[in-house]
Structure 1
């Protein structure tokens, strides 16, 4: 398997924020302001090292706010030209892991909501609030 194109690229990737991103913080602030209480970065049952961005455990609702580049947004995903094979494999693995995580949660009785980072926070919150209102406590 190819490697990152350089130690500098590898170091930069390791510093990439994967929690508390700007889109995630915007959604969390709006949810909180609307009176919704939630948990952050809850482990996905049976899947070590995987967490939900936002969880409503009592209602078994898992929310993921996916970055367009890292998770393969159909509108905004890009494929770097430098070290293209390595990047394609990396991004394909990310998308495969997302699908596997969703499948696992659904099998465990969770409702999974996935949003792209480019979606307006107000719309994301509206859809989350509707799911919370419509889903009874587990």
Structure 2
């Protein structure tokens, strides 16, 4: 199956995908602040530069996009229909990198919470997951 848009337009589309300050990340940060948590962003001294760091609780939060990080059984983690081998390889590398970063951070004595993009739509689920950060 051929791509319906030009390589230049595809490149432009891909350049618009953010890695920081995404909408799901902003939702989580806003809720954390409202709940009274204070945090740091993207600390470079921790593996993977976690999206959110709660130093007081020695906890990091990664806010993962369901598509890019392959949230299991999520409708947002659909399979691309073209360039299948390329995408499988890319997704596989992302998953391996996520696991490695999580292990590296845990080995340093930190807790890791992963919040999926689809979970940011439900405030109750999100609140419960965040409350677990200081247990």
Q: Which has the higher helix share?
A: 2
Q: Distance in 1 between matches of 2:65 and 2:84?
A: 19
Say whether residues 1:101 and 2:87 are aligned partners: no
Return the offset for 1:124: 2.0
User: SS at 2:87's partner residue?
Assistant: helix
Contact 1:23 1:65 in 2 (8 A): yes
Relative to structure 1, is the Cα distance of residues 10 and 85 closer, same or farther in structure 2, using a 3 angstrom cutoff? farther
The correspondence of residues 108-127 of structure 1 with structure 2, limited to 5 A, is: 108-119=108-119, 120-127=122-129
Judge conservation of contact 1:41–1:53 (CA < 8 Å) in 2.
yes
> What's the Cα RMSD here?
1.8
With structure 1 as the length reference, what TM-score do the two structures score?
0.81
> Please, which runs of 5 or more residues in structure 2 have no aligned partner?
1-5
- The residue that corresponds to 1:41 in the other structure is 42
Distance 1:54 1:31 in 2: 10
Gaps of 5+ in 1: none
Contact 2:59 2:112 in 1 (8 A): yes
Q: Secondary structure at the match of 2:51?
A: strand
TM-score by length of 2: 0.83
Q: Which gives a bigger RCO, structure 1 or 2 (Cα 8 Å, sep 6+)?
A: 1
Q: Tell me which moved more, 122-131 or 80-89.
A: 122-131
Instruction: Measure the CA separation in 2 of the matches of 1:44 and 1:8.
Output: 36
Give the Å deviation of 1:59: 2.2
Structure 2 residue 25 is the aligned partner of structure 1 residue 27: no
Count of paired positions: 126
Offset of 1:34 from its aligned partner?
A: 1.5
| 1:14 to 2:12 alignment | no
Give the conservation status (yes or no) of the 8 Å contact 2:57–2:133: no
